C-alpha cells in the first residue's frame, strides 16, 4: 500500500509537541523564579498555543455531526485553550498572583488530560520514552560530573545550575557561553554534543515512523469503510432482487 502522510496527521504531531513544550514552560514559571523577559516570552508563547488550540477545536467540531455531544465530551479542551496567563502581564498581577497560579495549575491539568492519550500512544508505538529517560540521565550525570571537574577552576562555573546550563546548551546547540577548561571537561562537552545529535536523530525518526503508521492506519480505515459500504450496497441489491422475485411469483 502506498504510504500517505496527510496534513492533519502532521498538524496533530505539531500540536502534541507544542503542548508538551507549553506544559514544561508553564511548570517552569509556576514553581521557579525566572527573569521578567523570559516570563513574558513564555506567556506570549502560551497565548500562541491557545490560539492554535482554539482553531483546532473549531475545526474538529465542524467535522462532527452532533456539535452538542462534541462540546459535552470535549469541554475540558475549552478550559485548556483559555489564555488565563496573559492576565499575569497586567499591573494588578501581584495582587492576584495566587488566583492566576491556581488557574494556571487547572490549565496544566486540562492540557495534560487533553493530550495524554496521544502522548502515551506515541510513547508506546515509538519507545521514545526510553530515549527521553537516557537523555535526562545524561543531563543530570553530565551536570554533576562537569560541576565536580570545573568548579573552582572554571570562572564560569559557580553553582550546579551553571553546570546544568552548560550541559543543556551544549546538547541543544553544540555550543555554550561556558567553555570547559580541563581535559575531562572537554571530553564531557564532546559527549554532550554526541548525545544531543543522537537524540534529535532518534526523535526525528520516531516522529516520521509514527506519522507513517498513523497515515497507513487512516488509509486502512478508509478502505475498510469503503468495503463495508460496498457490502451494505450488495446486501440491499440482493434484498431488492429477492423482493422482485417474490413479486413476480405472486403475479404469475
pLDDT digits (tens, 9 = 90+) for 129-166: 777 778 888 888 888 998 888 888 888 888 888 888 88
Across the chain, mean pLDDT equals 75
pLDDT in tens, 24-68: 787 777 777 777 888 888 888 888 888 888 888 888 888 888 888
Per-residue pLDDT band for 193 (boundaries 50, 70, 90) equals confident
- Does residue 1 have a pLDDT over 60? no
Q: Scan for cell 553544540, then name that residue.
A: 174
CA distance 77 to 113: 9
Nearest 5 degrees, angle CA 101-CA 104-CA 106?
115
Which of 19-23, 118-122, 123-127: highest mean pLDDT? 19-23
Q: What is the pLDDT of residue 65?
A: 81
Q: What is the pLDDT of residue 98?
A: 59
- Does residue 115 have a pLDDT over 80? no
Full-model pTM: 0.53
Nearest 5 degrees, angle CA 173-CA 177-CA 183?
90
Q: Which three cell numbers stand for residue 163?
A: 553546570
Provide the 3-class DSSP secondary structure of residue 113.
helix
Q: What is the pLDDT of residue 4?
A: 47
Higher pLDDT, 245 or 176: 176
Higher pLDDT, 213 or 6: 213
Higher pLDDT, 122 or 188: 188
| Torsion angle of C-alpha atoms 118, 121, 127, 128, degrees rounded to 10 | 0
Amino acid at each position: 500500500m502506498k504510504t500517505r502522510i496527510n496534513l492533519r496527521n502532521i498538524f496533530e504531531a505539531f500540536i502534541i509537541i507544542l503542548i508538551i513544550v507549553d506544559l514544561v514552560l508553564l511548570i517552569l514559571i509556576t514553581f521557579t523564579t525566572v527573569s521578567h523577559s523570559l516570563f513574558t516570552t513564555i506567556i506570549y508563547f502560551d497565548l500562541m498555543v491557545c490560539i492554535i488550540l482554539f482553531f483546532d477545536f473549531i475545526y474538529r467540531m465542524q467535522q462532527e455531526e452532533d456539535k452538542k455531544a462534541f462540546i459535552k465530551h470535549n469541554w475540558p479542551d475549552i478550559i485548556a485553550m483559555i489564555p488565563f496567563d496573559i492576565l499575569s502581564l497586567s499591573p494588578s498581577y501581584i495582587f492576584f498572583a495566587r488566583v492566576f497560579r491556581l488557574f494556571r495549575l487547572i490549565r496544566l491539568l486540562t492540557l495534560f488530560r487533553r493530550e495524554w492519550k496521544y502522548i502515551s500512544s506515541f510513547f508506546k508505538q515509538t519507545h521514545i520514552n526510553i530515549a527521553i529517560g537516557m537523555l535526562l540521565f545524561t543531563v543530570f550525570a553530565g551536570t554533576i560530573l562537569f560541576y565536580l571537574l570545573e568548579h573552582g577552576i572554571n570562572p564560569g562555573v559557580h553553582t550546579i545550575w551553571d553546570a546544568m546550563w552548560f550541559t543543556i546548551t551544549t546538547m541543544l546547540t553544540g555550543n555554550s557561553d561556558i567553555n570547559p577548561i580541563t581535559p575531562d571537561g572537554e571530553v564531557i562537552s564532546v559527549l554532550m554534543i554526541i548525545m544531543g545529535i543522537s537524540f534529535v536523530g532518534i526523535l526525528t525518526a520516531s516522529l516520521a515512523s509514527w506519522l507513517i503508521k498513523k497515515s497507513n492506519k487512516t488509509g486502512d480505515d478508509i478502505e475498510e469503510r469503503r468495503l463495508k459500504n460496498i457490502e451494505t450496497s450488495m446486501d440491499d441489491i440482493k434484498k431488492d432482487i429477492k423482493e422482485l422475485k417474490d413479486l413476480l411469483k405472486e403475479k404469475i
